[in-house]
Amino acid sequence: MKRLLSFVILAYLSVPVIVYLLPWTLGHAIFSHMLRFPFSVDLSRPEDVLNHTCNFYLDTEEGVSVGVWAVNHRVQMVKILSAAGNHVLSLDYRGFGDSTGEPSEAGLTSDALYLYHWVLQHSGGSLVCLWGHSLGSGVATNTAVKIQEQGSAVEALILEAPYTRIREVVITHPLAKMYWFLPGFQSLLWSTMETINIVFANEENLKCLSSPLLILHAEDDSVVPYHMGQKLYQISLQTKRRLNTQVQVEMISYKAELGFSHSSIYKDPGLSHTVQKFLQDLKH
């Protein structure tokens, strides 16, 4: 029993040491790109999961090839959006799925930016919307900022379960909470994230973005606290007033009793109508 207790204590105390000595391990934990689920899916055959779906690859940089379709809970979301008549492309960032390369904030943003420009070239003038869920919300706003810096603006931006800044999510994660009482642990996490260049600052990005915005967030989100979505909504309203624009800024909240949490907003029977109305209003 003593040996078991000693092992547990050693394992517990080793985590901060590992993060300090090997900062890249925190990046792997944030991206979780080494976790392949479900294991049985052949990513080159998306038609096994989604009807009328094909898989293709884009070379976003030299030596980096990313697969484009959908995985995990997003399959359900893609089904709903596709059924409503939308053409949906979902990206496996570098290092995820069967895409090559190693993930980084700059790399993920570069992949999304490449896909966005590729879609523009093949859209035939149709409205192009960026949709980011959870970690992807930071990629989406980063990409939107890059596009705006290039002299244009994203036609529509939808953020599902977005956070203010990725470090705020990391520090509130149940595993991180186990170390809150250790002096300097929060500072260690934040400094490590700066070292490995992981910021994903949605709150800063939305202070300058002028694109139409729709935020979807469940009150019972157990991963990204609901108040973060509320704060981003208020920031966007302030940006709208400061820039003196009439751009759409909306937030749809889902009551906790619905049980949608972090990854089940697709279960909302009115989701398709909500999204379509948002996009249709942009055309008027």
User: What is the number of other CB atoms lying within 10 angstroms of the CB of residue 240?
Assistant: 17
Q: Which residue, among 86, 80, 165, has the nearest Cα to 127 in the 3D structure?
A: 86
Structure tokens at 27: 């990046």
Q: Decide: 60 and 111 in contact? Cβ < 8 Å.
A: yes
The reply to whether 191 belongs to the active site is no
The reply to whether 117 belongs to the active site is no
Give the span between the Cα atoms of 34 and 45, in whole angstroms: 20
The reply to whether 221 belongs to the active site is yes
Catalytic residue chosen out of the listed positions 92, 133, 217, 221: 221
For 249, the enclosing helix (H) or strand (E) is strand 249-254
Catalytic residue chosen out of the listed positions 220, 262, 264, 268: 262
Catalytic residue chosen out of the listed positions 90, 99, 110, 134: 134
Q: Residue 267 carries which DSSP code?
A: G
What is the layout of strands, in order, in the sheet containing 129-133? 129-133, 156-160, 213-218, 249-254
Give the span between the Cα atoms of 145 and 142, in whole angstroms: 5
Residue 57 vs residues 40, 126, 139: alpha-carbon distances, Å: 20, 22, 19
Active site positions, annotated: 134, 221, 262
